[in-house]
Amino acid sequence: MSKNKSSESVKVVVRCRPLNRKEESNGPVGGILQMDLRLGQVVLRNPRAPPSEPQKTFTFDAVYDANSKQRDLYDESVRPLIDSVLAGFNGTIFAYGQTGTGKTYTMQGAWMDPEKRGVIPNAFDHIFTHISRSQSDKQYLVRASYLEIYREEVRDLLDPNHANARALDLRESPETGVYVRDLTSCVCKSVKEIEEVMNVGNQARAVGATDMNEHSSRSHALFLITVECSQPGPDGRKHIRVGRLNLVDLAGSERQAKTGVRGERLKEAAKINLSLSALGNVISALADGRSGHVPYRDSKLTRLLQDSLGGNARTVMVATLGPAPQHYDETLTTLRYANRAKNIQNQPRVNEDPKDALLREFQREIARLRAQLNHRQGRSKHKKEDGDGEGWERDGDEDTEGDEEVEKEAQEYVKQEEQRLEREKEAIREDQFMLAEEKQRLLGEKERMMGDLRKEQEATEQLTAKYKAMESKLLVGGKNIMDHTNEQQKMLEIKRQEIAEQSRTEREMQQQMLVQDEETLELRETFTSLQQEVEAKTKKLKKLYAKLQCIKTEIQDVNDEHVRSRQELEQTQNELTRELKFKYLIIENFIPPEEKNKIMNRLTFDPEEDQWKFQPLVPAERSFSQMKKRPASAVGYKRPISQYARVAIAMGAHSRYRAENIMFLELDMTPPTTASLDRSSEAELNRSPSLDNSPTKDRARRVRKSRSWCQAPKTITTSSSNMSLAACHTATPAAAQ
């Protein structure tokens, strides 16, 4: 991909977790990772290689060792990204690494411990603190969604019916890119509310964990936050900026052989590995920059991250590592992935005034409700002033205090009106000169007027409630949320951010200097003697030779890796082929060919959803015309019915054929005949005691049985023939009932 002005690379940071208890108990082997925090470098030692083998060095935007704090990672590497989301960019943070290396710890952490809160809770605080401190001419709308990708199916974690909900479809639009159709999104007004949303989603995942054993780490989880901000521009009109933030906790990138999984688990792992290897392929294709085709469509995960990788987004990848020597291979793979991802170029841009901004819809709806309310209140006021000619109009942007006053006034007016009507009613009742009929009519009229007044008041109240509910969802800068931090804390926060910023720029400069040093070293060299030149060049040769060796081992490693992943894919393929053969076997042996053909003819492949689908039996436009007319004789019944049957229904069923009047009679079996036994010789019988089960005997039994039916007593035959006749008559009504 060509670098252009607005493009910037994916930020990659690496984090190593401390040795856990089990690893510590394995002995004082020490870690295989060394981290240079100032330079942003990781040095990986191969525990199996001889000490002479050069170690592998990788450089990243930042590295965090086992002692790193959650807060450090957030302030240095995540805060700038959230800031740009608040400014209207798309942003993505995803954690990638082997199972148990701290992806979930980094993304979520321990919520209760302020020191251990991960990226997600810190981002919540950050977003709402920013809104509370922004200017009051800004309006915000914050929405959250939570989904997981489990076995290549997208599931909504906020759907109350999560367990039975069907998988959601992915769609693409030029405005928003790839999105999930029908995904629940909740408007959140505070940190508490958005945490609640997260909890609800996590519980849906937790249910899976008990049902399906360790489900949580076997699915990819995406928490999506959309922040829409409206602000008056220099042209005086309100402009909306929409920032979308994806917080992604991927499933572990473990190897199947290592986890020793089989059957269902293996298929699950294959699906996880499929999406992760698809992610790897996408990263490789993008980093390579030469291949025109990027295989985003290979998995749901890569499609959802399409914008984040090589598209309109700013992206931070946190690669998590474990320090234990037994995981050397996985650690190296993760580092390679991360190293490749550094080369991905994104083209982030501010999403300004998109057509589908929900905030715009909210503003329109609020304005409409307000206009309706104004109209109603204006009408009552107009009535009150009894047509003194002055129109009553309000500017749409008056504040709520004015609203409350007007509301009070309106209530006052209704009360006065009611009292007036009451008084008039009283006067009519007490008027002795009026005719009773006239009195009744006037009283009725007043009653109706009062009813109208009440109805109108109710409608206004409903409208007001709706208006207030809508308005409360919009957060106004510095108004809806109170910022409880005091000045000192604020200063502290700012200082901490400054320090983070400084250490970031320092690291960048160090890295740049290192690169420049290498380049300029040879230019500056001047030699005074031939001997000196030989020495210098030998030194350089040695250095370059070491580099060459490094690259050679690198190539060997990559080849090994390639072979390994190929073996894994082959294993998965074998497993799936076996499954397919099994399904074929069932289809071939148990489904009649004509049924199979019928089904096959109805199947079509939907490339958009990457699924086979059944065509409906009756085309949608025809089904209505076919279904709509029922025959006249069927009206009121389940199916068309004869005149006779209708009469029979009206008369009631014949008592003779009610279920309780039908007796169950054991068939009188004739005593066993010995005819077939007589035919077989006794010698044969003695020789084979298993003759009882022989086909001959079986046949004899069958003959005997059928004869017993033929020999049924005469009375039963007649009654059964009667019954069948009568049944013919009554069958239809009985069935119709």
Q: What is the total residue count of the chain?
A: 737
Q: CB of residue 500 vs ligand ADP: minimum separation in angstroms?
A: 18
Stretch that binds ligand ADP, among 102-110, 228-236, 279-287, 457-465 (CB under 6 A): 102-110
Per the CB < 8 A criterion, the answer to whether 162 and 204 are in contact is yes
Phi, psi at 36, each rounded to 5°? -105, 100
d(CA 716, CA 714): 5
Distances (CA, A) of 174 to 222, 312, 355: 22, 11, 11
Q: CB of residue 67 vs ligand ADP: minimum separation in angstroms?
A: 9
| Interaction of residue 99 with ligand ADP, rule CB under 6 A | yes
Q: Which 190-219 residues touch Mg ion, going by CB under 5 A? A: 217
- Two structure tokens written together for 348: 């982030």
Q: CB of residue 286 vs ligand ADP: minimum separation in angstroms?
A: 24
Which of 149, 260, 212, 273 minimizes the C-alpha distance to 572? 273
Binding residue for ligand ADP (CB under 6 A) from 217, 302, 380, 464? Answer: 217
| Interaction of residue 105 with ligand ADP, rule CB under 6 A | yes
| Interaction of residue 46 with ligand ADP, rule CB under 6 A | no
Among residues 100 and 378, whose Cβ is nearest to ligand ADP?
100
Per the CB < 8 A criterion, the answer to whether 351 and 337 are in contact is no
Within 10 A of 15 (CB to CB), how many other CB atoms are there?
25
| x/- map, 246-285, ligand ADP, by CB under 6 A | ------x---------------------------------
> Which residue's CB atom is positioned nearest to Mg ion?
104
Phi, psi at 608, each rounded to 5°? -65, -45
Residue 100 interacting entry, from ligand ADP, Mg ion, none, C-beta within 5 to 8 Å by type: ligand ADP
Per the CB < 8 A criterion, the answer to whether 312 and 177 are in contact is yes
- Two structure tokens written together for 697: 């005997």
Among residues 94 and 140, whose Cβ is nearest to ligand ADP?
94
> Which residue's CB atom is positioned nearest to ligand ADP?
102
Number of residues that bind Mg ion (CB under 5 A): 3
> Look-up: residue for tokens 């190593």?
16
Binding residue for ligand ADP (CB under 6 A) from 84, 90, 92, 104? Answer: 104
Distance separating the N- and C-terminal Cα atoms of the chain:
73
Q: Which residues pair with 243 in a beta bridge?
A: 227
Among residues 17 and 370, whose Cβ is nearest to Mg ion?
17
| Interaction of residue 102 with ligand ADP, rule CB under 6 A | yes
Q: CB of residue 17 vs Mg ion: minimum separation in angstroms?
A: 12
Stretch that binds ligand ADP, among 96-104, 280-288, 541-549, 625-633 (CB under 6 A): 96-104
| Interaction of residue 184 with ligand ADP, rule CB under 6 A | no
| Interaction of residue 17 with ligand ADP, rule CB under 6 A | yes
* Region at 538 (left for phi over 0; alpha for psi -120 to 50; beta for the rest): alpha
Stretch that binds ligand ADP, among 95-103, 284-292, 429-437, 465-473 (CB under 6 A): 95-103
Residue 101 interacting entry, from Mg ion, ligand ADP, none, C-beta within 5 to 8 Å by type: ligand ADP
Which of 39, 3, 42, 44 minimizes the C-alpha distance to 517? 39
| Interaction of residue 289 with ligand ADP, rule CB under 6 A | no
Among residues 98 and 351, whose Cβ is nearest to ligand ADP?
98
| Interaction of residue 320 with Mg ion, rule CB under 5 A | no
Number of residues that bind ligand ADP (CB under 6 A): 13
Within 10 A of 413 (CB to CB), how many other CB atoms are there?
17
| x/- map, 51-90, ligand ADP, by CB under 6 A | ----------------------------------------
SS3 213: coil
Stretch that binds Mg ion, among 97-105, 188-196, 219-227, 430-438 (CB under 5 A): 97-105
Query: One-letter amino acid identity for 260?
Result: G
d(CA 407, CA 401): 10
Among residues 66 and 449, whose Cβ is nearest to ligand ADP?
66
| Interaction of residue 103 with ligand ADP, rule CB under 6 A | yes
Residue 299 interacting entry, from Mg ion, ligand ADP, none, C-beta within 5 to 8 Å by type: none
Distances (CA, A) of 96 to 239, 245, 319: 36, 17, 5
Q: CB of residue 61 vs ligand ADP: minimum separation in angstroms?
A: 18
Stretch that binds ligand ADP, among 34-42, 92-100, 425-433, 509-517 (CB under 6 A): 92-100
SS3 44: strand
- H/E stretch holding 588 reads helix 530-590
d(CA 256, CA 59): 29
Q: CB of residue 557 vs ligand ADP: minimum separation in angstroms?
A: 23
Binding residue for Mg ion (CB under 5 A) from 104, 302, 320, 572? Answer: 104
Per the CB < 8 A criterion, the answer to whether 327 and 98 are in contact is yes
Q: Which 330-359 residues touch ligand ADP, going by CB under 6 A? A: none
Among residues 252 and 477, whose Cβ is nearest to ligand ADP?
252
Three-state DSSP string of 353-394: CCCCCHHHHHHHHHHHHHHHHHHHHHHHHHHHCCCCCCCCCC
Q: CB of residue 105 vs Mg ion: minimum separation in angstroms?
A: 8
- Two structure tokens written together for 188: 């959140």
d(CA 12, CA 77): 9
Per the CB < 8 A criterion, the answer to whether 97 and 334 are in contact is yes
Among residues 269 and 641, whose Cβ is nearest to ligand ADP?
269
Residues forming the site for Mg ion (CB under 5 A) = 103-104, 217
Residues forming the site for ligand ADP (CB under 6 A) = 17-18, 97, 99-105, 217, 252, 320
